[in-house]
Chain A
Amino acid sequence: MTLEEKQLAIIEEFSMFDDWMDKYEYIIELGKDLPKIDDSKKSDDKLITGCQSNVWLDSNFDDGKMTFFADSDAIITKGIIGLLIQVLNNEKPEDIAKSDLHFINGIGLHEHLSPTRSNGLASMVKKMKMEALKVC
């Protein structure tokens, strides 16, 4: 699947929920399934402080593709991270750097990425793109 196809698949998946609580139930499950970053590896250079919840981000560049590992102390934040990783993992850095992550809007979660939400997600997306740019 291309990056765009992955986004469309998520939008499709979310269109099944007609209730906010169902949507969040799903996101929470994603958050619970996302592998944790080991506490010992949560160094400060990987930490993105939001005023409400913290995010840790790590990345790998291998064989022309990026992989991201991320964690958060808040489970909803983590679930949304899970979605972002689904979309951006195994993509070329240049595609990541120029990607328009419209699915977030498409599934009604744009409020979580607003810089005023202070959960670290907006800065995380920025950082994911920066890390992609570094290896472009």
Chain B
Amino acid sequence: MESTAKRKFSVREIREDFPALRQLIYGKNLIYFDNGATSQKPQFVLDAINRYYSKDNANIHRGVHYLSQKSTSDYEDARKFIANYINANSTNEIIFTKGTTDGINLVASSFGELLKEGDEIIISAMEHHSNIVPWQMLCERKKCVLRVIPITKKGDLIIEEYEKLLSSKTKLVALTHISNTLGTINPIKEIIEKAHLVGAKVLIDGAQSIQHKKIDVKDLNCDFFVFSSHKVFGPTGIGVLYGKEKILEKMPPYQGGGDMIKKVTFEKTTYNELPFKFEAGTPHIAGGICLGKALEYVSQFNMEDIENHEMMLADYAQDLLSTFEDMNIIGESKKKTSVVSFVVDGVHPFDLGTLLDKQGIAVRTGHHCTQPLMDFYKIPGTVRASFAFYNTKEEIDVFIAAVEKGISMLK
């Protein structure tokens, strides 16, 4: 797939690429609005998975034989593609991980080793548990202090409060690019700049942005950027940690084992170079290759076309939902994308989710791994519809009718 001449953005044609979208659930056409949790996979990626296991399967980096060399070069080509895709300086900055959570844990564990008692880490009130708990564990281990940027009721970070939290003690700011619960797109460029002024590094949780926005790590000037393959149309079990080479160089290895070493003796082991220093053991080879394929698939399109379509869907859904009685939209930032979270007074999200499911509509209910955020809004959870570029306005019409029916049954 050549990425220079972009493919025309036709939702109808895009849907053809995703076999999972063409199925009946309880006799109804599946409407898949749980893209925030994970995305469906295009045939292009499915074929690559199949090809890898049915033809190319071999362990990488050590073999002299043909297949081992082929899978090694496919895996390393994927790394190259990913580096280019997010505009990293080199493949040394692209560490394969199991996913966003794994990437954050790697940084918390390894970068965390460089922190001292009293150092401070800043997160925000809208973080996923994956971007809270590893820092809490680090703070306990290293006696560091965790600070939290508060948000407004509408779901925006309060930047003045962030500025007050910054000091020479701040060593790291770990922040989500887009909130999985609220849909808020955070002004990360501004946040990164401000953190750098006090000498702090910045980790961006890109789990919810890589599939919706053009990511340019050089332009953002973030120090770390993490994402999961499965949310960007690739396989599960693989993800990426981007880190600036200078910083990664200074960080100690994360896990020990094969592949991450240069030489092992019982007296002393020397470690491999970047990026392998952080990749112990046989990696998820098919995963890495096929994440490359997933990004290749996305790169046929103009990211702006994807963004515009998704924004249109989210606005349309939110406008229609807002007309319901007793409706509360959770997350009303002016800058949001592709996620609509809501609660209806007197209706438990779990009940509504169950009734939507029986009408063939997949949404997520609950706290979305953001319990502190639920506490902030004083709700047990929300119903969340999250869209991808293969969703349509017609699906939203069906969804709205189903919500209406569900509410009338439950009230």
Contacts and interface: CB of A to CB of B under 8 A. Distances in A.
Nearest to B365: A52
Interface stretch (B196-204, B349-357, B393-401): B349-357
Binding site secondary structure of chain A: helix
Residue among B350, B367, B409 with the most chain A CB within 10 A?
B350
Given A20-B26, A51-B367, A119-B350, A75 B410 contact: yes
Interface stretch (A3-11, A21-29, A91-99): A21-29
B350 A76 contact: yes
Contacts of A20: 26, 358
A107 B278 CA distance: 51
Interface string A40-66: 000000000001110000000000000
B143 interface: no
A25 B350 CA distance: 15
B354 A53 contact: no
Contacts of A136: none
Interface residues of A, number: 14
Interface in A60-79: 73-77
B283 interface: no
Interface in B335-388: 348-351, 354-355, 358-359, 365-367, 380-381
A100 B104 CA distance: 45
Contact of B350 (A21, A24, A28, A77): A77
B219 to A, nearest CB: 39
Given A24-B355, A24-B358, A53 B410 contact: no
A75 B350 CA distance: 9
A23 to B, nearest CB: 8
A25 B409 CA distance: 7
Nearest to A53: B350
Contacts of B380: 53, 73
A60 to B, nearest CB: 27
Contacts of B410: 28, 75
A45 B26 CA distance: 38
Nearest to A112: B354
B210 to A, nearest CB: 27
A130 B26 CA distance: 35
Given A20-B26, A28-B410, A52 B366 contact: yes
Interface string B389-411: 00000000000000001000110
18 contacts: A20-B358, A21-B355, A21-B358, A21-B359, A24-B355, A28-B351, A28-B409, A28-B410, A51-B366, A52-B349, A52-B381, A53-B350, A73-B348, A73-B380, A75-B348, A75-B410, A76-B355, A119-B350
Given A73-B348, A75-B348, 20 more contacts: A20-B26, A20-B358, A21-B355, A21-B405, A24-B355, A25-B409, A28-B409, A51-B366, A51-B367, A52-B349, A52-B366, A53-B348, A73-B380, A74-B348, A74-B350, A74-B351, A75-B351, A76-B351, A77-B350, A77-B351
3 A-B pairs with the lowest CB-CB distances in the bound complex, closest first: A74-B348, A20-B358, A52-B350
